[in-house]
Structure 1
Amino acid sequence: MTVQITPTLLDDAARRGLLSTEQAQALWAFLAEHERERGHDTPSFKAAHILYYLGGLIAIGAMTLFMTLGWETFGGGGLLVVSIVYGVAALLLTEYLLERQHLTLPAGITAVLAVVMVPLAVYGAQNALGFWADGSHAGAYRDYHRYIDWRWLVMEFATLAAAAIALWRYRLPFLVMPVAVTLWYMSMDLTPLLLGADDTSFFSDLGRFVSLWFGLAMTLLAFWVDLRSRHTKDFAFWLYIFGVLTFWGALSSMDSGSEFGKLIYCAINVLMIAIGAALSRRIFAVVGGLGLAGYLGHLSYSVFKDSLLFPLALTAIGLAVVAVGIYWQRHEAAIGRRLRSSLPAPMRELVEQRRG
């Protein structure tokens, strides 16, 4: 059970002698200051936060996914200079937002903008040195985000190094986002180099296989980071987002081959919903819910398309789940204590903190 602490509640506690009036006032001042600081750090659906991310993602996308072919006319040296100017300007803006304005969310966005200029700078240097002289990937920087090629690895390693330095310097959770994306790119680009495969696009069988296991590995990494940073900022958020989406997207695009395989897919999605509830991570519940809905749609339109009982049975199952929810709500504290008592101490602290 979660109790909202208000000044009135603290005044009532003081009147009952549980703490003094001065203690109640000092405690409320501390909680108010903590909430103000947390509000600057924690992303939410506030109008300002939506504008931060919308504007930031537009700016980041402009220099990555939406880079036009016209920029190739600058040549390799020109691209290197432009990317350095952009990167330095973004870093100066990050310092200003942090040191002068104390705005961590927009500072994280400008820091990421500086990091994503690194692959463009490396590409510009490679181009100037004739690294792409064979003519492959005309307008190559646009292709960095679309095609798999082992030669992108230099850009990816440089991006990871820059992100690591930025994380060390600024300790801003949004900087984990380019790390997650770059690691995914790297997993796909390493495949043809290590396995000698020709087609490793996401939609190939090998691409799906690589993305599946990479997504699982990133999700486990996110959980480890979550445990390590449970008392500080949420550095695991973006790792969970990209890890779960990559894993679930690859899993959902695979051909299960049989009804039993589809049932296993359904069970995995139900498990993801449970994990999302345990860790208070909505991304698990969202994709798990989509997968479960897809499986039920498959049953309705394919397996039981002529059945009169299937909608009735599904209704009964749904109501049973609601009944379980009612029972859970009434006995949540006791059930939660029993379940958490069997967990290791760090995991128990993580679950309790995410719940609270």
Structure 2
Amino acid sequence: MSIRIETEDLARAVSAGVLQPGQDQRLLEFLRQQPETRASFQLAHVAYYFGAVLIIAAMGWLLNEAWMGIGDVALLLVAGLYMALFTLAGRNLWQRGLPIPGGLLGAVAVSLTPLLVFAGERLIGLWPFDDSQGDYHSYYLWVQSGWLAMEVATLLVGLAMLRLLPFPFIVMPMAIALWFMSMDLSEALYGSAFSWEERRWVSLWFGLLVILASLWVDGRTRRDYAFWGYLAGLAAFWGGLSLMDSGSEWGKAAYGLINLGLMGLAVLLRRPLFMVFGALGVAGYLGYLSYEVFRDSLLFPVLLTLVGLLLIALGIAYQKHRDSLTASLRARLPESLQAFLPALRR
């Protein structure tokens, strides 16, 4: 609940002895500065995260062939030095009261683990591929069981980093490594290369497991580690689900219903991420229906516009009645299930 404070209210507080003379003006000046402070704070957050993602991209899937040509020893030293510097800088910022940039640098250090293991394995002769099969860039593109050491190391380094810098975003490179591991382990156990359809199923089931694990963590830690778990899990689950080729209308209808279920989970858990993915899926299904029914009709763009307006209206209604909708939906669930649900975060 927000409260509007006028200058007369502050003057009455001084008259009543609640504030000392002069404190009302200082408080008023402070309150006037808050909107600008919040805006710049949010802009700083965007800069922090965007900078971290750029570094992760530069030292990850965008790493070019020139870096591969500097030699294994040099690559190992550079990766190790970068990891150490990012970890020390992150720890320093954390101790200085800047947990967001500090934690993000910790996540960057974790994301460099595959590169460190890649160089180390090549240096000591344990690299399972020749150069034509497994250069570092292929780690982000192809499913191969030979990547497992890189993924296990990333998880271990991530766990250690979480103890040093308990920052939720560090879960993201760990979740990506787990996603890759689910693919690579499946291929190793299956014994042959996976088809795209099989990979989609692995992605779907892995995403569902990550969502359930995040649900178990949600509300049980002071920091919101579940957010990044939900994001990674939903991306894997929804991506695998959306890429499946269903030739039947019943399969496409089931896809729409599952996405409606994700929107319901958004209300139940008060997690907008579920609403975003669910709304995208529902919009895609409605767009498919509109295209099939009104393919050659002048009503096609009109109907799509109406679908978009409907989604916006649903979003406004949810934002306006979020608390009552969540409470009403939770009240209809069995008590055993209510006890399992996480505490709601604002």
CA 135–325 in structure 1, closer or farther in 2 if over 3 Å, else same = closer
Q: CA deviation at 1:306?
A: 6.4
Divergent runs of 4+, >3 A = 5-8, 136-139, 303-349
Partner of 1:53: 49
Q: What residue number does 2:217 align with?
A: 225
| Deviation at residue 77 of structure 1 after TM alignment | 2.1
Is 2:190 aligned against 1:210?
Answer: no
Provide the C-alpha distance between the structure 1 equivalents of 2:322 and 2:108, rounded to a whole number of angstroms.
Answer: 43
Residue 76 (1) aligns with residue 66 (2): no
| Matching residue's letter, 1:252 | S
1:299–1:305 contact (8 Å) kept in structure 2: no
Structure 1 pair 311–87 and aligned structure 2 pair: CA distance change class (3 A): closer
**Correspondences of 1:1-356 after superposition (within 5 Å):** 3-5=1-3, 21=18, 46-100=42-96, 102-132=97-127, 134-137=129-132, 140-200=135-195, 204-229=196-221, 232-305=222-295, 336-341=326-331, 344=335, 346=339, 350-351=343-344, 353-354=345-346
CA RMSD of aligned residues (A): 3.7
How far the C-alpha of 1:194 sits from its partner, in A, is 0.6
Q: Is the 8 A contact 2:269 2:342 kept in 1?
A: no
Q: Is the 8 A contact 1:60 1:113 kept in 2?
A: yes
Deviation at 1:176, TM superposition (A): 0.6
| Paired residue type of 2:86 | A
1:341–1:154 distance in 2 versus 1, CA, 3 Å: same
Q: Distance in 2 between matches of 1:330 and 1:93?
A: 42
Shift of 1:307: 7.8
Gaps of 5+ in 2: none
In 1, Cα distance between equivalents of 2:60 and 2:310:
48
Cα gap change, 1:136 to 1:318, in 2 (>3 Å):
closer
1:227 partner SS: coil
- Note closer, same or farther for the CA distance 1:74–1:323 as it changes in structure 2 (3 Å cut): closer
Q: Cα offset for 1:259?
A: 0.9
TM-score of the aligned structures, taking structure 1 as reference length: 0.78
* Structure 1 pair 220–95 and aligned structure 2 pair: CA distance change class (3 A): same
Deviation at 1:208, TM superposition (A): 0.4
Choose 268-277 or 183-192, whichever is displaced more: 268-277
Describe the shift of the 1:248–1:317 C-alpha distance in structure 2 as closer, same or farther (beyond 3 A).
closer
> Number of matched residues?
326
